[in-house]
């Protein structure tokens, strides 16, 4: 102690040291802290480990979800499940940062993707070119049809687990990455 939580961050550069050549005061950036050090990112000022310029078309809130969500879904889908073209992937929580990143990765790998999400996010999730989006607040999640090679659950919980396992192919991958 003291221990400051958080890994992802987004903001403006407040100051730079004499040896820093690639950043300027006032520049919008995003990045991560150094692993599990005591210098987390849930603070007004941080000394981040890795930084990159923030794209102008997205908000600080949106971009701050990238540093850990993207590598997490990469590990789950590429390294563990070893997804490949033509496979079916079910993402529970497709409107969460990790879930949405997983949808995009699976679609780029030419997988057939189905995702659950809240009704207000269906259009955004469908824009990622997936096969089907299921509003889990209004539809019965059991409406998911067919067998899946991979089920990625970003929400966790016993309610979805039974459904996810029941639609998983034999020797398929059931991966839980609860982000809440």
Q: What is the pLDDT of residue 44?
A: 85
Claim to verify: residue 56 and residue 83 sit in the same structural domain: no
Q: Within this chain, do residues 21 and 87 fall inside the same structural domain, yes or no?
A: no
Same domain, 43 and 75: no
- At 150 the pLDDT is 96
**Side-chain-side CA neighbours of residue 168 (13 Å):** 20
Residues 55 and 132 in one domain: no
Type and span of the H or E element at 100:
helix 97-108
Domain count, the chain: 2
Are 152 and 175 in contact by the 8 Å Cβ rule? The answer is yes
Domain range for 146: 66-176
Last residue of a domain, one of 19, 38, 64: 64
Both 125 and 153 in a single domain?
A: yes
57 and 29 share one domain:
yes
pLDDT of residue 26: 95
* Residue 170, domain CATH: 3.40.50.720
Domain check: are 76 and 106 in the same one?
A: yes
8-state DSSP, 92: E
Let me know whether 4 and 75 are in one domain.
no
The two beta strands, 132-135 and 168-176, are unpaired
Q: Residue 139 corresponds to which tokens in the numbers above?
A: 């539809």
Contact indicator for 149, 172 with CB cutoff of 8 Å = yes
Tens of pLDDT along the chain (180 residues) come to: 667 777 788 999 999 888 888 889 999 998 887 655 557 788 888 877 678 888 888 888 888 877 777 777 888 899 899 999 999 999 998 888 778 889 989 999 999 999 999 889 899 899 989 999 998 877 767 667 678 999 999 888 787 888 888 899 989 999 998 654
- pLDDT, residue 107, reads 94
pLDDT score of 96: 83
Residues 30 and 85 in one domain: no
Give the pLDDT score at 25: 94
Both 32 and 100 in a single domain?
no
Can you tell me the distance from the alpha carbon of 153 to that of 94, in angstroms, rounded to the nearest whole number?
A: 9
pLDDT at 177: 82
């Amino acid at each position: 102690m003291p221990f400051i939580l958080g890994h992802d961050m987004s903001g403006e550069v407040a100051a730079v040291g004499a040896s820093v050549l690639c950043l300027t005061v006032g520049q919008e950036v995003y990045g991560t802290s150094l692993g599990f050090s005591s210098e987390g990112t849930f603070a007004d000022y941080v000394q981040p480990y890795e930084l990159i310029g923030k794209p102008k078309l997205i908000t600080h809130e949106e971009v701050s979800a990238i540093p850990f969500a993207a590598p997490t879904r990469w590990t789950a889908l590429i390294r563990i499940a070893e997804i490949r073209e033509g496979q079916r992937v079910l993402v529970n929580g497709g409107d969460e940062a990790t879930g949405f990143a997983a949808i995009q990765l699976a679609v780029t790998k030419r997988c057939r993707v189905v995702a659950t999400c809240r009704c207000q996010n269906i259009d955004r999730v469908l824009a990622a070119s997936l096969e089907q989006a299921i509003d889990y607040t209004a539809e019965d999640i059991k409406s998911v049809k067919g067998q899946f090679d991979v089920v990625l659950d970003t929400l966790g919980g016993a309610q979805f687990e039974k459904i996810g396992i029941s639609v998983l192919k034999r020797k398929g991958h059931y991966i839980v990455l609860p982000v809440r």
